[in-house]
Copies of this chain bind each other. A is one copy, B any other.
Amino acid sequence: MTSRLKDVAARAGVSIRTVSNVVSGSANVAEETRARVQRVLDELGYRPNQAARNLRGGRTGLVGLAIPELHSPYFAELAGLVAEAAAQRSWTVVIDQTHGDPDAERRLLEGTGGRLVDGLIISPWSIGPEELTACAGGVPVVLLGERATHGLADHVAVDNALAAEEATAHLLAGGRRRIAAIGLQPHLSNGTAHHRLDGYRTALRKAGVAPDPALEVPVRALHRADGARAMSDLLHGGARPDAVFAFTDELALGALHVAGAAGLRVPQDLALVGFDGIEDARYANPALTTVVPDKRQIAERALQCLADRIHSPATGVPPLDIVVPHCLEVRASTAGTD
């Protein structure tokens, strides 16, 4: 079933090397020979053995993508774009789900499965910057979402603080004053939630609105269920928010669901802004205003970083810190508030 260069060579009456030359198309081969060999290649359905090529060439053509969860729409969309961008560079993507497990993240960073991949894109969740300094078993690493200031690795993300500030400012501009923030994660050393909280507070301060701790709601994870729970807590506590800035779209959608079920009119009684720009947000009832990171550019530039480091490994180029653009897409969930 599986035929090798040797088999083709024997059948075509040439040397292994010549067959290899035909396959690669690089060296000089007489037209007649090439045709004969090609015919045998087709007959036997020859497929080059990747494992052998990898061993010989030292490259696997694989890049790893480590994300918390694939079933999370944001990461699914991102993974899809990474896979596309990788395909354009003739790379294949292997997916690793860390489930936010620090051990899993550490394991991936330390020895990425034994040179299985040529490079690793990781969206760290529970590991803080201080741990990220170690290079991943020799292969280049790109960090997503986490600002690793002292890092040894390239880093691609939106300006989380600025984006959060804009989202909050948008709600303030609509006259809202009791704006809740859903999505604090004080138990994690992950910086993303911190940055978004900073931006939220900055906007409040600039508008002269005093922050209210009762409006800052922590969550365990970032799923719809967590957003729903947080919204319930807000409604049943006495906090009385007139708007919500959720740190992710999933949280926002959970909150929106609870608000709707509780009879609140959105946006009249409660305005709502999310973060991530997932496709669901566009089709929610009402459609959700959200901060949209340029995910395509995140994928593209992360792969570009890897490509650069892979093709010229030794150059002492310092770690890049790439900020990709974002925009606030205003929809019905904040309509008439601006």
Contacts and interface: CB of A to CB of B under 8 A. Distances in A.
Interface of A: 1-2, 45, 47-55, 58, 60, 62, 69-71, 73, 76-77, 79-81, 83-84, 87, 92-97, 111, 113-116, 137-138, 223-224, 228, 253-254, 256-257, 260-261, 279-280, 282-287
B50 A52 contact: no
13 contacts: A47-B115, A48-B114, A50-B60, A62-B94, A70-B76, A70-B79, A80-B97, A83-B96, A92-B94, A92-B116, A94-B95, A223-B279, A228-B283
Contacts of A53: 114
Contacts of A254: 283
A316 B23 CA distance: 33
A113 B254 CA distance: 41
Nearest to A114: B47
Copies of this chain, count: 2
Contact of A55 (B51, B137, B256): B51
A244 to B, nearest CB: 15
A253 B283 CA distance: 7
A90 to B, nearest CB: 11
A257 B284 contact: yes
B70 A83 contact: yes
Given A2-B138, A92-B94, A113 B71 contact: no
B137 A47 contact: yes
B97 A137 contact: no
Contacts of A97: 80, 83-84, 87
Given A95-B83, A138-B2, A285 B285 contact: yes
